[in-house]
Amino acid sequence: KYTRFSVFYYCINSLGQITSIYNRSEKVAVPSGKENKTAIISYDHRIMPLESTSSTGTYYCGVKWNDIQKMGKGVFVLARGTGYIDTSYEWEILITLTALLAVLSIIATALLLWKRK
């Protein structure tokens, strides 16, 4: 009963739209002496290349037997357009703050020396 099944892959985008990616049917021969035992079979599927930023979404795989369907937990994929620039300003802020503190330190030292005279 469980030697014939379908493996399928699909994506759900941020709008909740489902896009079917790939389906295939499998028939697995059960070796003698392995009847009524749990078996694990791995299947890999690559989605290449991502067409555009609209490829962003959660990708799922599933298996369907006659009356049973099992789903994976999904993997979120964020597709960025070409030429994306990270907008992190951490280094610029650090350099600016360091320069400002150095200038203020020099001015304070100069004022202290000027007041002593």
Beta-carbon count within 10 A of 114 CB: 8
pLDDT category at 47 given cuts 50, 70, 90 is low
Going from N- to C-terminal start, the domains of the chain cover 4-77, 86-116
The tokens of 89 are what?
């300003």
The reported pLDDT for the residue numbered 102 is 95
**Cα–Cα distance, 5 to 28 (Å, whole number):** 9
What does pTM read for this prediction? 0.54
The radius of gyration computed from the CA coordinates of the chain, to the nearest angstrom, equals 30
The reported pLDDT for the residue numbered 72 is 87
How many residues does the structure list for the chain?
Answer: 117
Could you report the per-residue pLDDT of 74-107, keeping only the tens digit for each?
988 887 766 666 677 788 889 999 999 999 999 9
**Contact yes or no for 4/29 (Cβ under 8 A):** no
The reported pLDDT for the residue numbered 108 is 93
Report DSSP state, residue 14: T
- Which residues, including other chains, have CB under 8 Å from residue 64's CB and lie 6 or more apart? 5, 6, 8, 70
The reported pLDDT for the residue numbered 107 is 94
Beta-carbon count within 10 A of 97 CB: 10
pLDDT above 80 for 5:
yes
Grouping H, G, I as helix, E, B as strand and the rest as coil, residue 115 is helix
